[in-house]
A and B are shown apart, each in its own frame.
Chain A
C-alpha cells in the first residue's frame, strides 16, 4: 500500500506516492532525480548518501522515505546558493579534497554539518567528526585541509 510523502527538498515542496519500505535515498535519486547523493554500501558505513534532514546530517540509506514526511531535506544539489558554491564546496575544490568524487557529496554534507556544530575544530576533531564517511582515494589528508580552509573562510 503506497503512502503519500511530502518533503521540502532544497527549498521545493515535493510530494510522492511511495512504498513504505522505500529508502529516503531512493526517493531522492529515483523519485526526484537528485542523483548527486550516492549509495556506496549497504550497511550504513560509507556515508556517501549523507544529506541534511531538518538541518542535521543523516545517512539517507538508513532513513525510510515515510520517516522524512513533512521534513526539510538538503542534498548536495541544494548547497550552492544563487549559483555561488557553498564555502565547503569551494574548499574541497581549492584543497583537492576529492579525487573520484563518489564520496564527495556525502563528505561535503557531513563536513558542513560538522562546522555548524563546531565552527573551529582541531585536526583531531575534524578526523573524528568525519568518522561516518569513508573515502578511498584521498587518504583524508586533503579533506582535512579542505575542512580547515572552509572553517577559516566561514569565520572570516
Chain B
C-alpha cells in the first residue's frame, strides 16, 4: 500500500517562479558595490604573447583595474580530474590558467581583464588594451594534429598527443574480421558541436578579508566539486574558507560541470580589488570560451556473416580535446565512448583505440550524452552499413544481433571494465516503435513516392546508454578514470510541523529535480509534494555531492534520498510502536502512517510522529530526538536505458533539404517517477540530436578562427524546423537500485542522431549513396545527389 506520487505527471514545483520572472539566475544578482569584469580574449588561435600594454585602458574613467596573467603568477593551472592513459596526463599540465601567459593555443583564450564600475565602461576599456602577438602555425583537425609536421602546441606533448587509449581485444577482433563473410569499412566524422545553453556562464565573487572567506556564485552543475577543485588545487586554502552557490541555472547540457578559468579569475579579483566582482559571459564569448562537444574522426571496420550476424567491430578514433584540457575532457572519448561500442548487440569481438589530440580550438568536454552519442553513432551506422552491404533490412540485422532478455546481466566482452548491462528487452521496444511508425506500410509508401521522383526515407536506431554514472570503484579506477568517487548524498529532516526539508548534494539546472525528488519523499512518507522543500546547489547547508550530469541525479542522488527516507521511516515506525504501546516488530509504516499490522484505523500519522520526535518528551528509551537522517549512496553499477527511435524524412531532389516528417521514440528509462518530466527530457534530447544530424556544426577555418562563432552563424534549431514527436515507453525496472530507475536526461540526444542520418541515407539509397557526414545540410545532400547522378 503506497500513495501514488511515484509515476504521477504532476506539475513542476519550480515553475511558478520561472513563468513569472521571479527565478533568480546569476545575472539577476547584483551585490551592493559590485564591479564588472570583462575579459580580453586572444584573436589568434596559436601565438606567442610578446607584450601587453594596459595603460590606456587603466586610464579610462570608471576603470578599477586592468590585470594580465603576470598579476596571477602565484595561481597554478586548473586541475584535470581525468587521469586517462594510465596517468600519462599529469594533473595540472596543459590546462588553463586564470589568464594565459606566454602563449595562447586557441582563439578566445583569456589574456587580460578589465574591472570597472559598470559593464559598458569595462567593454570600452578592453578595446584599449594593446597586445602584440607573434602568430604561430595552426592545426584544428584532430587527426592532422597527430601527423608528422603538424604545428606543435605544447613542448611536453610530442605529436600533440594527449593520450593513446584502448579497450577490447585487438587480436580477437582481427580474427573476428578475418572470419567474416563481409567486412565493411567506413570513415565517420562526428562533428564538433557548440552546446548553447540559453543562459551563458557567469560568476560573482565576494571576499571577506577579516574572515579570509570567499563567497562565489557560479553557473555550475556541480557546486561542491567546484569548491573542492578551487580550494584544494588552485587557491590552496581550506574548503571551509569558501562557499559556492549555484543560483537558478539556465541549462548546462554538460558545459557547466567544469572548472573554468573565469571562475578562478573572478574569485581572485574579488580579493585583489576588495569589492564584489561580477562577470557574465556574452554569447559570442560563450562560443569560444565555453567547452564544445564531440569532434571525432573515426575509422570503423565491421565484420558480418551473410545472414547479418556481426562478428567483430574495430574502431580507431582521433578525438579533438582543444588547445588546453578541460576538467574531464579526456574521460569523454575514452571511458564514456569506447566502453559502449557493443550497443544493444552481442558482438563477439570489439577493439577500440582512441588517440586524443591537442588542436588550436576551444576546449572539448562533455556535451549531452558525452561519448555515448558518439559510440551510438558508430554502432548504429555500422549496423545500417552491414544491412546495406548484405541487402538485408536494417531492422532484421538489429533483431539478429540483439542481446536477449535472458542474457542479462550482460557482459559486453569485457569492454565495460567489469560492469554488466543491468536489464532490458530490446526487441519489445523495437516492435513498439515499428508499430507506431507503421514500418511495414512505409515501404509501400516509399516505393510509390520513388516512382514519383520523391525521396522518402526511414531510419532506425536501437540504442543503449549508460546512465547513473557512478560506481566509484569503476569511474575512479586508477589510470582509467577520475581518481575520484561518484556517489551522492541526501539528508531528510521531518520538521515538527510535518513539513519535510531535504538537502541534497545533487543539483538542478532545468530538469525539474525539485519536483521529482519531492515525489520520492511524498511516495515514501505519505505527505503532499507541497509539503516538501528540496534544498540544493549551495555548499553551505547541503551534504557533499558530485553534481548533475551523466543522467545520474535520480539514479544516484534520488536513491540516496530514497535510502535516507527508509531510515526515517524505520525510526518513525519504532516511535509509532512506542506511542501505540505495541511491540516494534508488530508495527509497520505504510502510506504515511505507523500502525499495528492489521489495524490501520488506529494509527499515528507522519505529522504526529514528527511532532513527537521533535518535542521529544515521550521517546522510547535511547532514541534520539527528531526524524532526521543522511544517506550516502554509491551504486554497485551504472544503469542502462535503451529503446528504439525511428525517423521518417523526405529529401528534396531540387534543394537537398531534409524535412523531418515524423519522429517516433520508444524509450525504456526504467521506472518513471514523473512521466511528464521524462518526456520533456526526451523531447529536448531528440532535438539536440536531430540538430547534429541535420543542422549544427562548429566550423574552424585554417587559421583557427571559429567561423560559426555566433547565433547568427550556428544553427540552433527553431520551432519551425521540427514536427511534434511521437513517444512511447516500455518500463523495465533496473535491478541496480531499489527504485528501479535508470535515467532519462540523455537518451534523446544519444538515439536521435544516427536515427536521422540512417533515415536520410535510406532515402538516398536509390542513388547509390552509402554514407554522408553530418550535418546533412541542403548543400551537402544536394551535392551528393548530383555527383552520384552524374
Give 1 or 0 for each of A38-49: 1 = CB within 8 Å of chain B CB. 111111011010
Interface presence of A34 (CB below 8 A): yes
Given contacts A38-B199, A76-B20, A103-B198, contact A45 B711 (CB under 8 A): yes
Interface presence of A35 (CB below 8 A): yes
Q: Which of B687, B712, B718 contacts A43 (CB 8 A)?
A: B712
Interface presence of A127 (CB below 8 A): yes
In the complex, what's the smallest C-beta–C-beta distance from B736 to chain A, in angstroms? 26
Interface presence of A152 (CB below 8 A): no
* Count of interface residues, chain B, beta-carbon cutoff 8 Å: 57
Give 1 or 0 for each of A60-103: 1 = CB within 8 Å of chain B CB. 00000000000000011101100001000100111010111111
**Which residues from chain B contact A98 at a C-beta distance below 8 Å?**
15, 18-19
Task: Give CA–CA (A131, B719) in the complex, Å.
Answer: 6
Contact call B18/A101, Cβ cutoff below 8 A:
yes
Q: Which of B11, B199, B679 contacts A102 (CB 8 A)?
A: B199
Given contacts A38-B250, A131-B719, A136-B251, contact A99 B20 (CB under 8 A): no
**Which residues from chain A contact B676 at a C-beta distance below 8 Å?**
96
Given contacts A30-B30, A96-B677, A140-B687, contact A75 B249 (CB under 8 A): no
Interface presence of B509 (CB below 8 A): yes
Task: Give CA–CA (A55, B684) in the complex, Å.
Answer: 31
Q: Which of A37, A77, A80, A138 contacts B684 (CB 8 A)?
A: A138
Task: Give CA–CA (A14, B120) in the complex, Å.
Answer: 22
Given contacts A35-B28, A136-B684, contact A105 B198 (CB under 8 A): no
**Which residues from chain A contact B251 at a C-beta distance below 8 Å?**
99-100, 102, 136-137
* Count of interface residues, chain A, beta-carbon cutoff 8 Å: 57
**Which residues from chain B contact A143 at a C-beta distance below 8 Å?**
719
In the complex, what's the smallest C-beta–C-beta distance from A31 to chain B, in angstroms? 11
Contact call A43/B710, Cβ cutoff below 8 A:
yes
For residues 1 through 39 of chain A, which have their beta carbon under 8 Å from a beta carbon of chain B?
19, 21-22, 29-30, 34-39
Q: Which of A48, A76, A123 contacts B724 (CB 8 A)?
A: A123
Given contacts A92-B19, A101-B510, contact A42 B282 (CB under 8 A): yes
Interface presence of A58 (CB below 8 A): no
Interface presence of A130 (CB below 8 A): yes
Contact call A100/B15, Cβ cutoff below 8 A:
no
Contact call A93/B511, Cβ cutoff below 8 A:
no
**Which residues from chain A contact B679 at a C-beta distance below 8 Å?**
96
**Which residues from chain A contact B18 at a C-beta distance below 8 Å?**
98, 101, 104
A39, A79, A102, A142: most-surrounded residue (chain B CB, <10 A): A102
Contact call A100/B197, Cβ cutoff below 8 A:
yes
Q: Which of B15, B27, B680 contacts A35 (CB 8 A)?
A: B27
**Which residues from chain B contact A77 at a C-beta distance below 8 Å?**
20-21
**Which residues from chain B contact A124 at a C-beta distance below 8 Å?**
720
Interface presence of A141 (CB below 8 A): yes
CB-nearest residue of chain B to A77: B21
Q: Which of B23, B27, B248, B686 contacts A139 (CB 8 A)?
A: B686
Interface presence of A134 (CB below 8 A): yes
CB-nearest residue of chain A to B509: A100
Give 1 or 0 for each of B576-619: 1 = CB within 8 Å of chain A CB. 00000000000000000000000000000000000000000000
For residues 712 through 766 of chain B, which have their beta carbon under 8 Å from a beta carbon of chain A?
712, 716, 718-720, 722, 724-725, 748
CB-nearest residue of chain B to A101: B18
Task: Give CA–CA (A137, B509) in the complex, Å.
Answer: 10
Interface presence of B420 (CB below 8 A): no
Give 1 or 0 for each of B118-145: 1 = CB within 8 Å of chain A CB. 0010000000000000000000000000
For residues 18 through 75 of chain B, which have their beta carbon under 8 Å from a beta carbon of chain A?
18-25, 27-28, 30
Given contacts A35-B27, A127-B719, contact A41 B680 (CB under 8 A): no
Interface presence of A135 (CB below 8 A): yes
Task: Give CA–CA (A123, B720) in the complex, Å.
Answer: 9
Interface presence of A117 (CB below 8 A): no
Contact call A46/B198, Cβ cutoff below 8 A:
yes
Task: Give CA–CA (A113, B75) in the complex, Å.
Answer: 51
**Which residues from chain A contact B154 at a C-beta distance below 8 Å?**
none
Q: Which of A45, A93, A136 contacts B12 (CB 8 A)?
A: A93
Contact call A96/B21, Cβ cutoff below 8 A:
no
Task: Give CA–CA (A154, B487) in the complex, Å.
Answer: 48
Interface presence of B435 (CB below 8 A): no
**Which residues of chain A have a CB within 8 Å of any CB of chain B?**
19, 21-22, 29-30, 34-43, 45-46, 48, 75-77, 79-80, 85, 89, 92-94, 96, 98-105, 108, 123-124, 126-128, 130-131, 133-144
Q: 4 smallest A-B Cβ distances: which pairs?
A: A36-B21, A100-B510, A102-B250, A101-B18
**Which residues of chain B have a CB within 8 Å of any CB of chain A?**
11-12, 14-25, 27-28, 30, 120, 196-200, 248-251, 253, 282-284, 509-512, 676-677, 679-681, 683-688, 710-712, 716, 718-720, 722, 724-725, 748
| 17 other A-B residue contacts (CB within 8 Å) besides A36-B21, A40-B200 | A38-B25, A38-B27, A38-B198, A38-B250, A40-B199, A42-B284, A89-B19, A92-B15, A98-B19, A101-B14, A102-B510, A123-B724, A134-B711, A136-B684, A136-B716, A140-B687, A142-B680
**What would be 18 A-B contacts, judged by CB atoms less than 8 Å apart?**
A22-B120, A29-B27, A35-B24, A36-B20, A43-B284, A76-B20, A92-B19, A93-B15, A99-B251, A99-B680, A105-B19, A130-B719, A136-B684, A136-B688, A137-B198, A138-B680, A139-B725, A143-B719
